[in-house]
Structure 1
C-alpha cells in the first residue's frame, strides 16, 4: 500500500509539472533558510558546553550604580574580589581564577607579532580543563613563568607543535622584555568558546606594582573572575551568598560610607555596587546585557538576534508551506473525480488522506535535497556576512541528518494535512453527478487569507530591512562632533622612550599634516571613570557633591587636529606651561597642579548652566587640583548607541597609547609605506599596528549591518516564494476562467480590460496585507530603535511603508499580469472550445 502511495505521488508530481516546480522551489528556499539559521543557532547556543563540568562554571560581573550617574556595567571585576569571595563562600565555591588579557609583542628571532596573552592564576586548569597536545596539567602550569601556547601559535613561530622547552621573547611583562620558556602546548580551542587563548601565562602578582589598579584593588575593574561551584550548588545560591557578603562583611561597607558620605545613609552596598554571576555556557548569548560599553574576551552573541532570525526562517518556511496548501486546494477541482473514483472503488477517507499526505512528504523530501545543495553553495557567503566558519556535516553528524529528515517530514505533514483533509472529504455522488467541482467560497476565502499572510510577512521583513539599513546609514552619518576624515590611528603603547623622535619624523613626511598623542582614539573609549570634586560652589552658591566623570588624556594639538573648537576658554597650549598633569609619588604630601577641559554635559552636571561661568574653577582629583581652562561641545567618542557622557580631558603623557595621524594625500599606499619605515627606524623591535579611523568607526555598527544584510537576504527569499505562489494561483485562476475570458472578448472586452480584471482580483489581498503589515512593522521597529539614543525620525516610516506597499503591488501585478495577458491575447474561439 505504501509503495502504491509513493508511485502515485511521483506520477502526480510529474503530471503537474509547473505546480510541482513552484512547490519544490518554494519549500527548498524555506528549508534552506531553516538549515542556515539552524547551523548558526546550533553554534551560538553550544558555546562552552564542551568544557568539563560546564554547568558548574560561572563568571562574576560588576555594575556600578552611583547617584545621578548612568549605570556602569562590565563583565570584569576588581582584582581583590576573587580571593575574598572564594574564601568567604567556600561552601559554594570549589575554586576561582582571575584572567587578565594583554596585547603584547612576541618575538622568535627576526619574527615579531602582536599577540593576545592571557595571564591566569595557577588554578586556571582546575576550572578550565583544557586538553593538552604536549605536556600535562600537573607539570606544565604549576609555577610562575610557566607559558602554555596553542598548537596554532606553536606552528606559527616554530613550524611544529612539540615546542616544549623553546623560548619566546615577550615584551613587556614586568617592565621589560622577557625570555619565557614554553612549558606546554594546548590543543587548539574549538570555535564555539568565549575563551580567546593562544598564550597562557602563569599570573604573578609581583609583576604588578602595588596600587596600580590591576590586582591590588577593590574598585578598579581589570580582571575576569571565574568560579567553579561545588556539586549541587546553583548560581542563585552563590548570588545570594555574594550579595549578603557585599552588604554585611565586605570591606566595601566602610568604603562606601567614606566614599559616598551622606548618600550612603540608609543604603546597602548593593544599591551602588553589585556583583552578578552568570553561568559560563550562557555568557556568549547573554553577557551582553551585563557588558555595557565594554567588550568581552571574544565578540559577544545576541540572544535577541538569534530569536529574531529563528522566527524569520520559520516565516519563510511557512510562506512556502502556504504555497503548497493554496495550490493543492486550488487544484481540487482537477482531482475531484480522482477522489470520487477512488472512493467508489472502495478507498476509505483515511486512505485518500494518506495518499495526499504521501505526495506532500515526497515533495518536501525532494525539496530537502535541493535545500541541502543550495545551503552548501551559499554557506561561504553566509559565513562572510556572519564572520563564522559554519559547516554542514551531515554524514559526520548523524543527529543533524536525522533532524533535517524529521523536520522535512514534519513540514510535509504540516503542509499537506489541510489539503489531505480537504480533498478526502469529497462525496462521490456529489462529484460524479453533473461533473461538479469541489471548489467552494470557503476554500477561496481561505486561500485569500493565506495569500494575505504571505504578503504581510514579506512586507514586514522588507520594512524591517529598510529601517535597519536606514539606522545604520544614519548612525554612520551623525555629526559626532569632530572631523574624522583622513585620520590614521597608530598604536604606540610599546614605543618606549622614542615618542618624540617618532612624532618628529612622522611630521617630516610631506603627506602628514598633524601628529598628536592620546590615551585612546575615537571608538576606543575604555570606560575610565573617576570621582571629581568641585572645590568652589555652583553658580547658585550651593556646594556641589562629588561627581563621576569619564576621563581621557590628550596631547597638545589633539582637539585642533580633530577640528574641535572650545565654546568657552581655551584648549591645551604649551605656551602656558601649566597644563601637564604629572603623577606624584604615593608618599608625597604635595598638591599637584594641572589643567582640565570639560564637555558641556560635565558642566551641567557640576551645576553650571553656562560654560563661561565655570572657566577658572578648580576640580580635585586625588592629589591634584585641576583648573578648568576650557569647555568643548559634546562629542561622541564611542558609537552613538552609547549616547553622550559627562567627560573630562587631561594632559598626562604617561597615559598616551595612540598617535593620531592626519594626512593629506590620495596615495595612501605610499603613505603607509613611509609610516612603516619611520616606525621600524624608531621602534625596530615592535610590529606596527595602524588602522584607518574611518574603518574603526564603521566597525562600531557591524552588528547592525549584519542584521540588515540577513534581513535583506531573507526578505528577498520570502518575496520570491510568495510571488511564486501568487504566480501559480494566477495561472490556475486564468486557466479556470478561460471560457469567461473568451466570452468577454466576444462581447467587446479588450486585452487591457481583461488584464485589469484579473489583476484587481489579486491586488485586494496585497492591499489588505499592507494594511496589516504596516502597524506590525512600525511597532516592531520602533521597539528596536529604542536602544539607540539617536535614531532616524519616525516620519521616515511613512515613505518606507508607502514605498514598500507600492512595490508589493507592482510585484503582484507583474506576477499576475503575464499570465492574464497571455490568455487575453488568445483567439476567443479557442477559449470557447476549452474543456
Structure 2
C-alpha cells in the first residue's frame, strides 16, 4: 500500500514538472539558507559555554560616571581592583585573575617580532582549563621568567622543533627579560573571548612603570575575571562595590563611587550581551538572523502551500474518479499527505546537498569555523520537524477538503470549482511574502545607507594619505623617536610628521576629569591626548581660536605636576566640544581661561575644531591636548605619491635607527574602515538572504501565474476572438497580481519605518529618518517590477497561443 502511494506521488511529481521544480527548488533554497544562518547563530551563541563552573564565572567592566555624555562601559579596568575585591569579598570569591595584554618585542637569536602576550595571576589555572600538549603549565607561574605558549605560537617560532627549554627575550616598557618556555598548550577554541597565545606570571614590580599600567584606578588596563564560590551570588558583590570604591579609590573632593562604577556579567553571556554604549549586541544581531531564517523557510513553505491549493482544484475530477472506483477518504488523505511530505523530503535532501557546497564559502566570508556534523541530533531533528510541518500544511487542503467532495456533482458539472476562502487564503499568503520582501529590501537599503553615511562623514580632519607607525616607544626606538620624526619629515614624499599618544581608531581612550573649577563634582571626564606642535598641521585640523603649540616656546611643554600644594600651571589646548562642556560661550571665550584637571591648573592657549579621532561611531568626545616631546607612542606621516613608496622609505629609516625592533604600520583610512567591518558584513548577509527571499517569492508568484493562466485558457481564447490584444491580456493578469503587492507595501512600509528607526537610534551619527521614505518607495517599486516581470513573462506565453487551441481546452 505504502509503495503504491509513493509510486502515485512520484508520478504526479514527474507529471507536474514546473510546479515540482518551483516547490522543491524554493523549499530547498530556503532551507539551505536557513540552516546556514542557524549554524552561524549557534556558533556565535556558544562562546565560553565550555568552561567548568561557567555559571559562577564573571568578567568585569568599568564606567566613568562624570560628564553629560552617554556612560560607556569599558571592557578593561584598573589593575588595583583585584586586591581590593579579594580583601572585601573573601566569602564570595573562589579565585580571581587579571589578564594584561601587551605586544612586547620578542627576540629569538637574530629573529625579532612583535607578539601578543598575556600576563596573568596564578589563579588563571583555577578558572580556565588548558589542554597541555607538552611540559607543565603550572611552572609558568612558579617564577617570573617562565613562559607557556600555544601550539600556534610554537609552530610560528620553532616549526617542528621542540620549544621546551628554549629562551625568548621579551622587551616592553621597563621589562627586558629572558623567558624560558616551560609548556605548550592547545590553542583556545575560536568560540571564546579569551585570546592567550602566550602567558607569563603577572609581574607587579616590572610593570611599576609606567604608573598607569597597573597602579592607577583611572586606568583601564586589565581584563578581570572572578570565579565565585558555590552558592555565592554576584548581587552581593554588586551591592558592595560602591563601598569598595569609596574605601580604596583616592579622590580629592568626592567618593570613588561618585565617578567610577564597576560591574560584571557571566562570562558565558559576555560575547552575546556586552555592549559599550547602546549599540546592537551580538544577541540582537542573532535574533535578526533567526527571524530571517524563519522568514526564508516560511516564504518557501508559502509557495508550496499556495501551489498545492491551486493545483488541488485541478485534481478534483481525479479524486471523484478514484472515489467512483472504490477509493475511501482515508486512502485519499494518506495519498495527498504522502505526496506533500515526499516533495518536502526531496527538498530537504537537496537543501543538505546545497548546504554542503555553500558552507565553506559562507564560513570563509564570516571567518567562522562552521561545519555540518552528520551526527548532530539537533540538526536532523529540526529537519524532520520542518519536513512534517511544511509537508502537512501543504497537503492539508487537498487531503481533507477535496477528499471530502461529492464525486457525482463534480463529474456531472465536468469542471472543478474553488471556494472563495481558498482564493482569499492564497492572496493573504502572497501578500505576506511580498510584505516580508519589501521589509528586507528597505532594511538592506537603510543599513547600506547608514554605513556609507558614517564612513563618508567629515571627521574633522583629512584622513587620506596618513601613514601611522605604531609603537615608536618600543625597544631601541624609544630614545630615538624624535630622530625618527625628523628624518620622516625630510623624506621627499612627506608633507608633515607628528608624534602623538593616540591616532584615529587605535582603540586608546585615555581620559581625566576636567572643569572650570577645581571642585570634583563640577568636573567631567574628557579625553587626554599628548601631541607635538605639528599634530594639527599633519592631520589638517583647523584652529578655531587662539594659537597652536609652539616647539620654540618651552612654556608650552607639559611639566610633571605632582605637588598638590604648589601645582605648576601647564598650558593646554581644547577642542570646541570641550570648551562648550566647560561652559564657555564660544571658543574665543576660552582663550586665556584657567581650567583644572582635579586641582591642577591649566591655562587654555588655543581651541581646535572638533575632530573625531576616536571610534567614529562614538559620540563626539571632549578632548584636552598637552604638548610633550617624550610621550608620543605613534608617528603619523602625511605623504604624497605612492603609499608603498612611503612605507618603504619610512621602514628604511626605522631599520637604520632600530634594526631589532619590528616595524609596524597602518593607514588611517584602513583603520577607520575596520571599524565598520561588522556593519558591512551584516549588510552583505542581509542583502544576500533578502535576495534569496525575493527570488523564492518570485518563483512562487510565477507558479501561481502559470496556474491562473492555465485555468483561464478558455477565457483568454474568447477574449482574443473578441479582439483583445496580447498586451491587454498581459495587463489584465499583471493587474490581478498587483493588488496583493499594493497591500503588501501598505503593510510593509510602517513596519520597516519603525523597525529601522529603532535600529538607527544606536548610532549617535545617523542618516535622517525622512530618507526611509525614498527607501520604502524604492523597495515598493522593486517589488512591483519583480511581480510584473514574473507574471508578465508567463502571461505573454499564454496570450500568444492560438485561440482555437484555447477554445478546444476542456
Moved more, 132-141 or 466-475: 132-141
Deviation at 1:683, TM superposition (A): 1.8
Separation of aligned partners in 2, 1:278 and 1:124: 18
Separation of aligned partners in 2, 1:285 and 1:320: 30
Separation of aligned partners in 1, 2:778 and 2:105: 54
In structure 2, the CA distance between the partners of 1:504 and 1:447, relative to structure 1 (3 Å rule), is same
| Residue number in structure 2 paired with 1:182 | 181
Helix, strand or coil: the match of 1:60? strand
Alignment of 1:367-766 (within 5 A): 367-394=347-374, 397=376, 399-491=378-470, 492-494=472-474, 495-534=477-516, 545-584=522-561, 591-621=567-597, 624-665=600-641, 667-766=642-741
Separation of aligned partners in 2, 1:143 and 1:821: 83
In structure 2, the CA distance between the partners of 1:547 and 1:189, relative to structure 1 (3 Å rule), is closer
In structure 2, the CA distance between the partners of 1:51 and 1:778, relative to structure 1 (3 Å rule), is same
Separation of aligned partners in 1, 2:70 and 2:41: 33
Gaps of 5+ in 1: 295-299, 538-542
Deviation at 1:384, TM superposition (A): 4.0
RMSD between aligned alpha carbons? 2.4
- Per-residue Cα deviation, 1:270-314 (whole angstroms, up to 9, x for no partner): 6653332211111111122xx3499xxxxx971111000110111
C-alpha contact (below 8 Å) 1:243/1:270 kept by paired residues: no
- Per-residue Cα deviation, 1:297-338 (whole angstroms, up to 9, x for no partner): xxx971111000110111011010000000000011221123
Deviation at 1:32, TM superposition (A): 1.0
Moved more, 384-393 or 113-122: 384-393
Deviation at 1:760, TM superposition (A): 0.6
Helix, strand or coil: the match of 1:578? helix
Is 1:229 aligned to residue 223 of structure 2?
A: no
Within the candidate set 329, 332, 341, 2:309 is matched to 329
C-alpha contact (below 8 Å) 2:208/2:214 kept by paired residues: no
| Residue number in structure 2 paired with 1:112 | 112
Separation of aligned partners in 2, 1:639 and 1:69: 15
In structure 2, the CA distance between the partners of 1:349 and 1:148, relative to structure 1 (3 Å rule), is farther
- Per-residue Cα deviation, 1:436-471 (whole angstroms, up to 9, x for no partner): 414121111111111100011001100100010011
Separation of aligned partners in 1, 2:205 and 2:441: 58
Moved more, 711-720 or 508-517: 508-517
Deviation at 1:140, TM superposition (A): 4.5
C-alpha contact (below 8 Å) 2:60/2:262 kept by paired residues: yes
Helix, strand or coil: the match of 1:232? coil
Within the candidate set 221, 241, 252, 2:246 is matched to 252
Moved more, 651-660 or 770-779: 651-660
In structure 2, the CA distance between the partners of 1:611 and 1:748, relative to structure 1 (3 Å rule), is same
| Residue number in structure 1 paired with 2:166 | 166
- Per-residue Cα deviation, 1:18-72 (whole angstroms, up to 9, x for no partner): 1000011100111011111111011111111122222221112222323645313
Helix, strand or coil: the match of 2:263? strand
C-alpha contact (below 8 Å) 2:309/2:394 kept by paired residues: no
Deviation at 1:415, TM superposition (A): 4.1
Deviation at 1:147, TM superposition (A): 1.0
| Residue number in structure 1 paired with 2:779 | 804
Separation of aligned partners in 2, 1:104 and 1:427: 85
Deviation at 1:618, TM superposition (A): 2.1
Deviation at 1:210, TM superposition (A): 6.9
- Per-residue Cα deviation, 1:732-788 (whole angstroms, up to 9, x for no partner): 111111110110111111111111111110111111111111111111111101111
Alignment of 1:53-202 (within 5 A): 53-66=53-66, 68-160=68-160, 162-172=162-172, 175-202=174-201
Within the candidate set 233, 242, 253, 2:237 is matched to 242
In the alignment of these two chains, the number of paired residues is: 807
Separation of aligned partners in 2, 1:671 and 1:460: 47
Gaps of 5+ in 2: none
C-alpha contact (below 8 Å) 1:755/1:821 kept by paired residues: yes
| Residue number in structure 2 paired with 1:824 | 799
Deviation at 1:229, TM superposition (A): 1.8
| Residue number in structure 2 paired with 1:540 | none
Alignment of 1:251-330 (within 5 A): 252-253=246-247, 258-261=251-254, 272-288=259-275, 291-292=276-277, 302-330=282-310
C-alpha contact (below 8 Å) 1:102/1:117 kept by paired residues: yes
